[in-house]
A and B are shown apart, each in its own frame.
Chain A
Amino acid sequence: MAAQARMRNSRVLIINLGSVGTEITKNLVLSGIGSLTILDNHNLCKDDIGNQFFSNREQVGVNRAVAAKLRIQDMNPRVKLDVFQDEFTAKPDTFFKQFDLIVATELSASHITIINAITRKYEISLYVTGLHGLFGYIFVDLIEFDAQDEKLKSAVSTMLGPISANREIIEVTERVDEEQNKVKELITTRNKFKPFETLLAEASLEGKLTRRQIKRLSSALPLLLAMFHFDMDFTDLTESSLAEKAIKVCKQLKVSPETLKPEYMKQFVEQASIEFAPVAAVIGGAVAQDCINILGKRQSPLNNFVFFDGVTLDMQVLEL
């Protein structure tokens, strides 16, 4: 199968092997990708034992990627596995050139911007994901991606042209499925993506959701975006500083600041950058599923921001 062959030849880099990094690694290794490289400069601390299933208690103090290597390899001996103990910023840009796809986790906004500049330079697909307690996001930058989806032809032919802010149908071909005696349409959709920096500066929901959908939007979205405006260690994160930044985000998104629920703000302040295993499972599953898709089959990818609210199980894909 062509898709399987593409998967087996693909080279993926995962930056940081915390809870969500571990979930993505597990899913990609099971799926049979060709080679996986893990870059992690953190040592396993006792907090990781609640999040990591590739290492054990006796390995506390050992580098996370090194500690996990044996168990990852054991899961699928065919995957070519490499681990590096450096921080990604310590690697020269050319190091990244070898990869088809990079998944970055546990990064601050400034680091996301750095890795995104590298992936843009070498035309590498990028997925960035991060968790704050019960909440999580996925940012996707595939630069430009032509997806092919097949569907049954309805009474009206699919028209060429833009279908949303970031997507445009560029080709429709018909195919008669003789086995099922039905006409199918093969639709090619051009997905455009924007760099993380642009998204952060310009993200807006205007014209993308109905008024009702905007009214019922989870606080998780503006708060996840507001968290990018703090530094890596969230040194000055308080309920009031978060509220201030979140209100700005709401204005930019064109949603009412009333969307922001106090209990959500409290949660974000208390659980900034905490990776909680079941949330990592959901986000890690979604990231890996999309990676497998774009590496193999090329059906429509996530475009371009996903938020997850672990309280209400709300999860949406928004073209920000």
Chain B
Amino acid sequence: MIQFEKTASIEVLGAENYAKLRHTKVLLVGAGGIGCELLKNLVLMGFGEVHVVDLDTIDLSNLNRQFLFRQRDIRQPKATTAVKAVQHISNSTLIAYQCNIQDTEKFPLSWFSQFALFFNALDNLEARRYVNQIAQLLHKPLIESGTAGFDGYIQPIIPGETECFDCTTKETPKTFPVCTIRSTPSQPVHCIVWAKNFLFPQLFSTSTTASANEDLGTDDPLEIERIRQETNELRELQEYIKSGDESRIPTIIEKLYTHDIEKLLAIENLWRTRQKPVPLGRFDLTDAVNPDFNAVWSLQEQLDCLANATKKLMKRQATEDQIDFDKDDVDSLEFVAAAANIRAHVFHLPIKSIFDIKQIAGNIIPAIATTNAIIAGLSSLASLRVLNLMKGFPVKSPKELNMAFTARASNIPTHRYLSNPVLASPNSRCPVCSVPRGVIKISGKALSSTKLQDLIEAIRQKYHYPGEVSVVDKSTQRLLADIDFDDLLEKSLLDLKIRSGVLLMIADERDDVVEIRAGSEFYIQEDSKNCASHPFLLPEMKVKMVKSEVEPPQESLENGLDETTTNVAQSSDVLIIDEDESGSKRKLEESELPPNKKAKHTEELVLLD
């Protein structure tokens, strides 16, 4: 294959910096809306090596904005498909993983340390926070990004120098994982999103027409068969709609609420901890239509409404070709409302009135391709500044660097397209980056021979915790020891499942003194090579004394510190290990991330990619 250098990069960065770029290895977390755009940019710029991690597979609803994916790629892993789709323009080494970034066995800390920089192109808060913590732990720069509709932002994070992801409250829109929407809805809104964003476009506004000599990207006959079957199923429903044959409506309803549910039921591990849905079964349709949009209708009324709306939409399709959902278009609203409610019925969820559904559906913000493109472009430019590779614009201090928001996101004057404040200093109260943290290296042998007590003693001595401390395994939210709970001290680390990837959180428990030792966090990393002479190595770091405060003072709104996460030990759910005699389990709350109290758009639901 003919190799070309990226000449625009050479011109902009200079030959020397370009050479550095060619040897730079970066991690891209997420291959969705922003991730696809970012990958394209990084490859065009000529980064030496890019590793792409994404857990998801491609869904039909991704295709109108994730430009690296095609119909034939549906159900394929996003990361590998995205990498394949940019090969023709790439002179970078590209490595894809279909994996959860938080999988510590697949991605131990040592794996992260190979990269010069991390890019977050994620759709959920939990993974963003996780990568942020890893970046803090390894002192690696991170470029964080996100979009919701026309709003978007990028924020470079330089550990120790600038604000981290958790230093300020982020507007955290509600997002739903695709599998919740497609397979395991647990709230009425999940069914509404399914009806509006998956079912409706699938039936009325997406084309499945493939070009005649379509390249399926594989020669494997089984794989080709799978893609064909996938496309056929989709096409079948569309054909029913296009046929205009009203007698097929019961078949459509049967497929959606009986056959598809039966298929889901066959995936047994979905239902171990969930209530099983009940397929719709036999039904009759009548022509009666309930005109009251404020009433909560019966199942029969929902079915009649769905059939009636489908009839009307079928007729319209003949002339309109493609119909998009619009909450003010009564046919499309009735269809989505009834379809969502019947699904809610099947999954034992509450039924809503059409009026309520109109409200909720109208507030679902679609992801917008152009916003993703702009944000990914900004993220790529910021990376060059962070890595100090822009010829002619050397960075003397990380505080010269800029973050950027699209104007609507920050309500800035109209003449600004972007707001670009310089990076702020870390928040001294940040629950993440103000906490001293380091890596405890431990040999495999020592994991079974070291008692919890031994490890705690070593930590207390090294970092000068004079009195009692509490120890929490942050990864699983288990309390391992505190002043009233010493049952586990004699157990070995192995018995307590403290192994590579576990994050231990230490807190000074004294409540009778003015100043206490600050809390600290330790990441456990199995490393037999470096621990030949000692069973384990504690990191070199200082843990300062801080004022003892039971209640952190209220922060002003401008300062935006999320108080729900200020004291992690208090707000996280703490679950005592269910050990034989200690027995009592005290689980405080569902392990749901704290909702952002100050989020402006609390009513808005966002479907991110």
Chain A residues with a Cβ under 8 A of chain B:
1, 4-5, 8, 19, 23, 26-27, 30-32, 46-47, 49-53, 56-58, 60, 73-75, 77-78, 133-134, 179, 208-209, 263, 266-267, 270-271, 274-282, 284-286, 288-289, 292, 306, 308, 310-319
Q: A60-B2, A278-B45 are in contact. List 9 more A-B contacts (CB 8 A).
A: A30-B67, A49-B89, A50-B6, A53-B44, A77-B210, A271-B11, A276-B9, A313-B381, A317-B415
Residues of A within 8 A of B40 (CB): 53, 277, 281
Kindly state the separation between the CA atoms of A56 and B88 in the bound complex, as whole angstroms: 5
| CB-based closest 7 A-B pairs | A281-B377, A50-B6, A285-B374, A277-B44, A285-B373, A278-B380, A282-B377
Residues of B within 8 A of A319 (CB): 415
Residues of B within 8 A of A56 (CB): 88-89
Task: Verify A4–B374 contact, CB threshold 8 A.
Answer: no
Judged by a CB distance under 8 angstroms, whether B12 is at the interface is yes
Task: Verify A306–B417 contact, CB threshold 8 A.
Answer: yes
Which residues in chain B, 51-94, are within 8 Å of chain A measured between CB atoms? 64-65, 67, 70, 86, 88-89
Task: Verify A57–B390 contact, CB threshold 8 A.
Answer: no
Which residues in chain B, 73-120, are within 8 Å of chain A measured between CB atoms? 86, 88-89
Residues of B within 8 A of A47 (CB): 7-8
Kindly state the separation between the CA atoms of A266 and B392 in the bound complex, as whole angstroms: 8
**Per a CB cutoff under 8 Å, which of B1, B3, B65, B416 touches A315?**
B416
Task: Verify B11–A278 contact, CB threshold 8 A.
Answer: no
Kindly state the separation between the CA atoms of A319 and B45 in the bound complex, as whole angstroms: 33
**Per a CB cutoff under 8 Å, which of B5, B41, B88, B150 touches A278?**
B41
Residues of A within 8 A of B65 (CB): 30
Residues of A within 8 A of B368 (CB): 289
**Per a CB cutoff under 8 Å, which of A209, A279, A280, A292 touches B415?**
A209
Tally A-B pairs: CB < 8 A.
180
Q: Tell me the minimal C-beta distance from A28 to chain B in angstroms.
A: 9
Residues of B within 8 A of A75 (CB): 67, 70
Kindly state the separation between the CA atoms of A47 and B324 in the bound complex, as whole angstroms: 41
Task: Verify B86–A53 contact, CB threshold 8 A.
Answer: yes
Looking at B65, B355, B380, B415, the one whose CB has the most chain A CB atoms below 10 A away is B415
Task: Verify B8–A285 contact, CB threshold 8 A.
Answer: no
Task: Verify A179–B374 contact, CB threshold 8 A.
Answer: no
Q: Tell me the minimal C-beta distance from A131 to chain B in angstroms.
A: 9
Q: Mark B385-416, 1 if CB is under 8 A from A, else 0.
A: 10000101100000000111000000000111
Looking at B89, B322, B403, the one whose CB has the most chain A CB atoms below 10 A away is B89
Judged by a CB distance under 8 angstroms, whether B334 is at the interface is no
Q: Tell me the minimal C-beta distance from B87 to chain A in angstroms.
A: 9
Task: Verify B402–A313 contact, CB threshold 8 A.
Answer: yes
Task: Verify A317–B416 contact, CB threshold 8 A.
Answer: yes
Judged by a CB distance under 8 angstroms, whether B232 is at the interface is no
Task: Verify B211–A74 contact, CB threshold 8 A.
Answer: yes
A30-B65, A179-B358, A277-B44 known; A286 vs B374 contact (CB < 8 Å): yes
Complex: chain B residue closest to A50, CB-CB:
B6
